[in-house]
């Protein structure tokens, strides 16, 4: 039976606030992303925001009337600053201009958006702010004081990013993109089961060079490992991801180390392992490598003879980490990607590696796919996590790790 994949923001009601700035064009995409993710969206705009994008556009994208004035007569009690936040799961201000952040820091409420931020039930309606401004405005001491103040008051600051700006300059101050903001909001609502903890993850295949153009590798896409890294970061962990040769974006908030070969992966993992409390060895590491890689491409000579290829065994990264001395050894989770007899091979791996948990899956059935089926194997038995998308499974696995690990 497959795990249903709910929309990540299903049932969430978001008040989306727009203050003045050219990044309002991104807010249109963000509103659309929120709706596609299952949220209901109530847009509130400052007067300055209406100079950059119309309320008609935001109403069409949110499917709700847009509010721009605290004197809006549509509310029977003439109190939109009260009514709009009482059912909200969060207020997200994107873009948040330097002036608007200053209003929040000072507790000023000159128009509806600032007023409702001040009047929200602070204990159950969080405030998230996505700054958007010129790089000089962002770095100005006054702005940095104001940002520090709203953080101290409980707001969550999303970004900003660095890059090209509408003024023609380049630097910090760009608002995050719509999909980045959506993912940040999804992550915000995830239970912080690993808050204050650290997780080291390996992901993807390794590539063992035969010559400069050929090598030994496998079909692992890295998707499961990257999903675990993202889920661990969502759960509040400090995450380091050691990735083999894959073409996947780094999950936000995750530190990434890129490697090619098994030897490089081991060299990256060993100094990191004692610095992390949990190690999840998701990578499909090659068991063997050529004993002697050549510096030049091996050419056919027309004789029909196949050149001999001597192999040597790679070090076992998981077993090496699991044998580190107490105090340096993280709590280890192994992955077993098998072609058959999954439960038997996963249990054998559990015993050989000396780890508390092995997660098994059928490699040929999952490599490159967006879904998976996981079998949890420990000293007490086996339990299957039903087929689902890899991120949903990663969140379930992170919950298991949080409950099991010391």
Nearest alpha-carbon partner for 158 in 125, 133, 180: 180
What token pair was written down for 304?
A: 């029909």
Q: How many helices (H) and strands (E) does the chain have?
A: 14, 19
DSSP code string of 265-327: HHHHHHHHGGG-SEEEE--B--SEEESS--SSPPPP-SS-PPPP--EEEPP-HHHHHHTSPTT
Q: Name the active-site residue from 24, 117, 125, 167.
A: 167
What distance in Å separates the CA atoms of residue 372 and residue 41, rounded to the nearest whole number?
32
Residue 167 annotated as catalytic: yes
Q: List CB contacts of 301: < 8 A, sequence separation 6 or more.
A: none
CB 5 within 8 A of CB 388: yes
How many angstroms separate the Cα of 190 from the Cα of each of 70, 127, 160, 184, 234? Answer: 33, 16, 21, 10, 6
| SS3 of residue 338 by DSSP | strand
Q: Which residue has the tokens 């530190």?
A: 255
Q: Which residue has the tokens 């509806």?
A: 112
What distance in Å separates the CA atoms of residue 191 and residue 193, rounded to the nearest whole number?
6
- Catalytic residue positions, numbered: 167
């Amino acid at each position: 039976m497959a795990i249903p994949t709910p929309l990540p923001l299903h049932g969430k009601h978001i008040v989306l606030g727009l203050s003045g700035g050219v990044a309002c064009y991104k807010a249109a995409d963000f509103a659309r992303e929120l709706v596609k993710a299952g949220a209901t969206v109530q847009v509130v705009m400052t007067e300055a925001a209406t100079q950059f994008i119309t309320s008609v556009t935001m109403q069409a994208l949110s499917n709700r009337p847009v509010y721009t004035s605290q004197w809006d007569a549509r509310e029977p009690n003439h109190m939109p600053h009260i009514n709009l936040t009482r059912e909200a799961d969060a207020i997200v201000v994107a873009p948040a201009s330097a002036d608007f952040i200053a209003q929040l820091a000072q507790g000023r409420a000159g128009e509806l958006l600032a007023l409702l931020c001040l009047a929200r039930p602070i204990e159950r309606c969080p405030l998230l702010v996505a700054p958007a401004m010129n790089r000089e405005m962002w770095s100005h001491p006054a702005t940095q004081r104001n940002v520090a103040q709203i953080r101290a008051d409980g707001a969550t600051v999303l970004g900003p990013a660095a890059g090209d700006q509408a003024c023609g300059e380049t630097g910090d101050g760009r608002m995050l993109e719509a999909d980045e903001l959506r993912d940040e909001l999804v992550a915000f609502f995830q239970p912080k089961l690993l808050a204050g903890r650290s997780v080291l993850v390996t992901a993807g295949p390794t590539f063992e060079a035969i010559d400069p153009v050929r090598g030994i590798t496998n079909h692992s896409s890295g998707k499961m490992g990257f999903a675990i890294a993202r889920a661990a970061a969502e759960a509040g962990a400090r995450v380091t991801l050691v990735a083999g040769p894959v073409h996947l974006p780094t999950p936000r908030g995750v530190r990434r180390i890129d490697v090619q070969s098994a030897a490089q992966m081991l060299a990256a993992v060993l100094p990191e392992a004692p610095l992390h409390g949990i190690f999840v060895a998701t990578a499909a590491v090659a068991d063997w490598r050529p004993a002697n890689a050549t510096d030049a491409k091996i050419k056919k000579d027309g004789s029909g003879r196949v050149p001999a290829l001597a192999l040597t065994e790679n070090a076992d990264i998981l077993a090496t980490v699991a044998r580190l001395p107490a105090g340096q050894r993280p709590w280890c989770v192994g992955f077993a990607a098998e072609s058959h007899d999954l439960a038997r091979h996963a249990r054998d791996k559990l015993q050989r590696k000396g780890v508390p948990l092995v997660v098994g899956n059928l490699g040929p059935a999952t490599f490159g796919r967006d879904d998976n089926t996981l079998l949890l194997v420990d000293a007490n038995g086996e339990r299957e996590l039903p087929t689902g998308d890899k991120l949903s499974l990663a969140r379930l696995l992170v919950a298991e790790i949080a409950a099991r690990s010391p």
